[in-house]
Chain A
């Protein structure tokens, strides 16, 4: 019921996080997407992840391109600055924003049209630059706002709602991110909240370029038999290689796991990722074998999900550029302007 404004009324006993915020403080405006859209589940997962991690909402900047997915930043984190930029160009805007202020958390939201078609170049270059961000592609294999055309992630042979068969080979953004040097790479499914929320949390804690390809069925145009991005198809072909718990110092999760099935990964900021291995032969620290594994499973018609690759000690663009710790947008004349005396010297050297 998107025409109804969200009530401001809040239950007094809503649980609060350590910052004193309720989950409602991380919400945004009411979604105008179709009822049942996978994207709304992703928005809910983002809200949950930020609430659970006790992130101050105003220290997050959310940026997007154009499309259904790119509309979603309006529907979460209402107290964060947002930027709905131009089609396929969110990565460059986010990169610039990140250069200006390295202290904020950057959340880029994009779709398969936005990142795999018009913005493939910007997607690739943001990955290889190591921009410190979370980059989520809400991947439904279809152009929703323009009424159901195939996107570049549509599988070869998949059938559109109008019955057209896609003959183009699909672009796999996860494989590209692996090849291009992203330091945190995951795939998930909007219908699997228990997998998705911890992945978003871990990505938010990661100090480098973190990419999540989230398959998010389009209820209007790509949820029919013959589609390879429908709820049913993804559920049937989902092969999760691991399950993740994220511990940020305080919340020790105690559970019993069979020996050898749990791996602890300590990230740069001290957060601990507890990975429950579901597939014995999958190593999320080996880029090359991850690529091979993904290709093999894809060949077998399976969609591999989970934390696919993580570098616990990543560098980011600011390290490469050797920028000062203080955000560049805080510097004033004192720090930036060399002043008249330096200019006199320069003049003298130019005669």
Chain B
């Protein structure tokens, strides 16, 4: 008899399915049921670049303590995919559980003797109850949710309630689903010992938090931030953001009187056209954005340089995936940092924002439009697949009713009539930001020619070296000004004073929070700083100066943020120790703790010569 893991409100369940088998909504039902029990749950979809047939997994981390990062390891596997059986069985922690369809007997050699096996004849149950093939496939998924509910003590009323909500408006589907749910539950209650060692107990840990995808939240940020033009080209993992914008707009942006749209979403022919349209719209005074991923950023390079040099606002959401090239289109990475920071040929620098979760996808998504207008330059919002395409628990979204859009320095017809002098690239107040006019403003004043060639302060073509250089220096001044407007970093001090620091950003946040608790428990003290934007605020440079060594934790191979810190902050590279996780799955607390512990142990070894007395 193997040992049995005993855990309440703290374990990891992983569903192994076949892509296209309709498992996604059943798995989501499971995750939502956990949340409705008041217990924080974080699902992660691990899916292939495929429509039907390849393996897909859905991992749910259940954590009363509220850890939302991936943990590593699995306590209960729901093995529904014969293709990946061996790997799935291997992934179970000793003492963990394997749930499988026992209709067809499996040879003993395909199991492990240190795990607990739960067999439910799902296919048999299904075939007895349904004749339609598609029904058999779909209801099999609901049957296993019912079985799991009994096994881990999910209140069945909670699941029933969710089914009712899910099929609201298609009411005739509710009863058959509930029936299937009970089929699984009844079988398990009758034939097996319930509950198992992994159990749920009602809690209040979820609180008032909400559950949504980062892509949807970012799209909502665009709606609230006043974006009216969206141009995009389908690419995983960003497509759902553009689609979410369209659906949010249909709900909130259709003129009630005329039935006409206060938005325009255009699916362009490629990413070059997408960014071109964004630049054209923003030049003409609309707030515009595109959503893309790494390959799209590569294609947009020339236009990004134009927007930087001609000083046109543009908002670019990059939902990062595994690169380079086509790379791992359905896996997560933070590997576009440098490609975005210095996008395009010539000397450029761009503003980057790093949201941590859907809540920040919303706030930074909206803020990006104020920043773009204020700074008249492209603003990159760097999500990644992990937060973009997965539902995540986060603080409720808030909006100040008194907030007004910051349209930046725009000269109006009234300003021009009042005799204000207009020079498109004249820096009147020293912050590097100049006034612009929208096309069509005034019959005789304020028109100018926008170009990607060098020009003087009145937008006239010139190849004069000094004038060119002055302009380039002003762009640097503007970048300096940007520090005042971008989100500040957030620091957290260890319980005891320490000379060790750690810098991280974006979706690494939840894993880092957990890692710090684990490090703290083992007596390792680390101050941290979460970078939320580039250009780097002075606090970040000071933070590095205040510590002897600073770990820079990233989800890419080359330590891209570290390179940016070294380059932009003139920091001694020896001080910045890279901690890099980039195999495509989200970074875990276990990984961070192990890396930091090992590297600290190495640096604490007394050099041999000194050790000899």
Interface residues of A (CB under 8 A from B): 56-59, 61, 63, 73-74, 78-86, 89, 91-101, 103-104, 121-122, 124-125, 129, 318, 321-325, 328-329, 331-333, 335-340, 342-343, 346-347, 350-351
Contact = CB atoms under 8 A, between A and B. Distances in A.
A96 B438 CA distance: 14
A82 B440 CA distance: 11
Interface residues of B, number: 71
A347 B396 contact: yes
B277 interface: yes
B276 A85 contact: yes
Contact of B255 (A59, A79, A122, A324): A324
A91 B303 CA distance: 13
A81 B286 contact: no
Contact of A350 (B210, B255, B302): B210
Contacts of A332: 226, 405
A335 B262 contact: yes
Given A89-B303, A93-B277, A338-B223, A84 B453 contact: yes
Given A328-B286, A329-B438, A347 B397 contact: yes
A58 B437 CA distance: 12
In the A-B complex, list the 10 residue pairs whose CB atoms are closest, starting with the nearest: A96-B280, A92-B276, A96-B277, A100-B286, A81-B439, A329-B285, A93-B280, A100-B284, A96-B281, A350-B210
A100 B285 contact: yes
Contact of B399 (A59, A84, A343, A351): A343
Contact of B286 (A58, A84, A329, A346): A329
B192 interface: no
A200 to B, nearest CB: 20
Nearest to A58: B443
Contacts of B443: 56-58, 79
Given A96-B279, A125-B269, A82 B444 contact: no
B449 A73 contact: yes
Contacts of A73: 449
Contacts of A323: 260-264
B422 interface: no
Contacts of A96: 229, 231, 276-284, 288
Contacts of A343: 224, 397-399
A351 B38 CA distance: 10
A96 B306 CA distance: 15
B276 A324 contact: no
B262 A84 contact: no
B211 A95 contact: no
Contact of A92 (B259, B268, B401): B268
Interface string B241-270: 000000000001101001111111110111
A99 B266 contact: yes
Given A99-B277, A99-B286, A329-B438, A74 B252 contact: no
Contacts of B272: 89, 92, 122
B519 to A, nearest CB: 32
Contacts of A82: 447-450
Given A82-B449, A125-B269, A321 B264 contact: yes
A122 B220 contact: no
Contacts of B261: 321-324
Determine the main DSSP class of A at the interface with B. helix
Nearest to A328: B228
Given A86-B303, A340-B401, 7 more contacts: A57-B447, A81-B447, A92-B268, A100-B280, A100-B288, A122-B273, A331-B226
Contacts of B259: 322
A99 B264 contact: yes
Contacts of B268: 92, 125
Contacts of B399: 337, 339-340, 343
Interface string B368-407: 0000000000000000000000000000111111011100
B284 A97 contact: yes
B441 interface: yes
A86 B308 CA distance: 13
A93 B279 contact: yes
Contact of A97 (B210, B252, B269, B280): B280
A78 B278 CA distance: 25
A90 B397 CA distance: 39
Contacts of A85: 276, 279-280, 306, 452
B210 A347 contact: yes
A329 B452 contact: no
B462 to A, nearest CB: 13
A340 B366 CA distance: 14
B286 A322 contact: no
B167 interface: no
B557 interface: no
B212 interface: yes
B284 A336 contact: no
B461 interface: yes
Interface in B215-237: 220, 223-224, 226, 228-229, 231
Given A58-B443, A89-B303, A338-B224, A95 B266 contact: yes
A292 B302 CA distance: 39
Given A85-B452, A343-B399, A103 B440 contact: yes
Nearest to B306: A86
A342 B286 contact: no
Contacts of B211: 350-351
A336 B369 CA distance: 13
B260 A325 contact: yes
A321 B261 CA distance: 8
Contact of A58 (B212, B281, B444): B444
Contacts of A97: 280-281, 283-284, 439
Contact of A324 (B262, B405, B449): B262
B134 interface: no
A336 B229 contact: no
Contacts of A340: 398-401
Contacts of B275: 92
B208 interface: yes
B276 A338 contact: no
B253 A336 contact: yes
B218 to A, nearest CB: 14
B442 interface: yes
A107 B280 CA distance: 13
A322 B448 CA distance: 31
Given A82-B449, A84-B452, A96-B277, A342 B262 contact: no
Contacts of B263: 323, 328
Nearest to A344: B396
B228 A331 contact: yes
A336 B264 contact: no
B440 A104 contact: yes
A57 B229 CA distance: 26
A101 B285 contact: yes
A84 B449 CA distance: 7
B451 interface: yes
B204 to A, nearest CB: 13
Interface string B505-535: 0000000000000000000000000000000
Contacts of A79: 443-444, 447
